[in-house]
């Protein structure tokens, strides 16, 4: 059983001089149940969320119910049969008016697995729709290759208490090499919606050794597509260097230095407006792409479950303003001392 209470009081200064204000108070709860009877396994996870939101004086209350159900039957001879069900219902109230939207997806699947090979076929059934789905994967030592097709339904807000149900399909190819200290992943994908197709590629490289942790993630979206999203490209580089060698190996404290670089190439066709619903808005014709580059630095010491460091957020060595929307003000540099106590390993 899980419960959570969330309170949010959000103030965002905008480039126009207006300070955007949003408040939200929500209660969350969930239940998890898992049981195995011989070759048959069952698990389900119902959950709810009750939220009251206030956006610049516009108020609405939302009640949302989820349920995830899965049953799996081992047929023997490397075969198993599974059924997955996901449902979501949202009721919104604004100005004494109620609106309701729901979705329910059932996924029957047959799976074959032998050694490092897995083949899976099935379909997604929803409101009279029949969408074939499938997945094939191959695993050998540190190498992993998979390809598949998935069907998704999501709710997109149109107004304060009104949502639209949209459908999309995802086709992907994943290639990975994963070892103890090195991870390399390449994801090639294509998203199909009513408004068009959006192909893209994402790469992820991680090196994790005793004295160095390096992570580089990058992605390219909207390849040869006029119906793209807000981003054309992103790059996230994270570096942590801590000399756990030589005399530092047995020392009581260990110095470290960290750096982070976040680069975003905005498409110029879709932008972020925190005042609007939805926040992603089509920009005026002729809007130009722009980029933002955020650099953070940190250095300090690791001392027996404590981390003491000095941090620069928005280390402005390039001299350029960093903002992710034309509606918001640039991110200003912040410097502060941070002490972290790790009391649970």
- On the question of pLDDT at 226 being above 70, the answer is no
What's residue 316's pLDDT? 61
Reported confidence tier of residue 184, pLDDT bands at 50, 70, 90:
very high
Q: Where are the beta strands (DSSP E) in 179-289?
A: 182-193, 196-208, 212-220, 231-241, 254-266, 270-272, 280-282
Instruction: Over range 18-28, report the average pLDDT.
Output: 92
What's residue 234's pLDDT? 94
What pLDDT digit, counting tens, does each position of 197-219 carry?
A: 889 999 999 999 888 899 999 99
Tell me the whole-structure pTM to 2 decimals: 0.83
Query: What is the residue-wise DSSP string for 23-79?
Result: EEEEEEEE--EEEEETTEEEEEEEEEEEEEEEETTEEEEEEEEEEEEEEEEEEETTE
What pLDDT digit, counting tens, does each position of 88-142 carry?
A: 999 999 988 999 999 999 999 999 999 899 999 999 998 888 999 999 999 999 9
Helix (H, G, I), strand (E, B) or coil at 271: strand
User: Partners of 301 in the beta sheet?
Assistant: 255, 308
Helix (H, G, I), strand (E, B) or coil at 295: strand
- Rounded Cα distance between 153 and 226, Å, is 22
Which residue carries 């994790």 as its tokens?
Answer: 208
φ, ψ of residue 288 to 5 degrees: the values are -95, 145
With contact defined as beta carbons under 8 Å apart, do 172 and 148 qualify? Answer: yes
Higher pLDDT, 276 or 234: 234
Instruction: Over range 9-24, report the average pLDDT.
Output: 86
What pLDDT digit, counting tens, does each position of 131-161 carry?
A: 999 999 999 999 999 999 999 998 888 888 8
- On the question of pLDDT at 326 being above 60, the answer is yes
Higher pLDDT, 127 or 237: 237
């Amino acid at each position: 059983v899980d419960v959570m209470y969330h309170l949010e009081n959000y103030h965002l200064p905008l480039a126009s001089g207006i300070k955007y204000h949003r408040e939200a108070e929500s209660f969350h709860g969930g239940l998890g149940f898992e049981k195995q009877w011989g070759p048959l396994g069952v698990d389900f996870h119902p959950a709810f969320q009750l939220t009251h939101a206030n956006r610049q004086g516009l108020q609405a209350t939302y009640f949302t119910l989820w349920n995830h159900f899965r049953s799996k039957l081992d047929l023997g001879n490397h075969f198993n049969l599974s059924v997955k069900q996901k449902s979501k219902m949202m009721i919104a109230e604004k100005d004494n008016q109620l609106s309701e939207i729901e979705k329910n997806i059932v996924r029957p699947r047959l799976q074959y697995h032998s050694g490092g090979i897995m083949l899976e076929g099935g379909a997604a059934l929803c409101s009279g729709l029949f969408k074939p789905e499938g997945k094939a994967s191959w695993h050998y030592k540190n190498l992993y290759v998979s390809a598949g097709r998935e069907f998704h339904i999501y709710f997109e807000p149109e107004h304060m208490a009104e949502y639209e149900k949209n459908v999309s399909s995802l086709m992907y190819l994943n290639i990975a090499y994963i070892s103890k200290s090195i991870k390399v992943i390449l994801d090639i994908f294509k998203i199909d919606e009513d408004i068009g197709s959006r192909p893209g590629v994402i790469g992820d490289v991680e090196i994790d050794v005793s004295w160095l942790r390096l992570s580089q993630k990058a992605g390219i979206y909207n390849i040869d597509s006029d119906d793209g999203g807000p981003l054309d490209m992103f790059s996230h580089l994270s570096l942590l260097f801590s000399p756990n060698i030589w005399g530092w190996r047995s020392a009581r404290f260990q110095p470290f230095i960290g750096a982070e670089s976040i680069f975003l190439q905005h498409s110029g066709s879709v932008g972020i407006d925190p005042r609007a619903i939805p926040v992603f808005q089509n920009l005026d014709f002729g809007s130009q792409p722009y980029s933002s580059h955020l650099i953070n630095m940190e250095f300090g010491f690791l001392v027996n479950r404590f981390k003491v460091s000095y941090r620069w957020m928005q280390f402005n060595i390039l001299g350029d303003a960093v903002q992710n929307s034309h509606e918001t003000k640039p991110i200003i540099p912040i410097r502060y001392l941070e002490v972290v106590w790790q009391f649970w390993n």
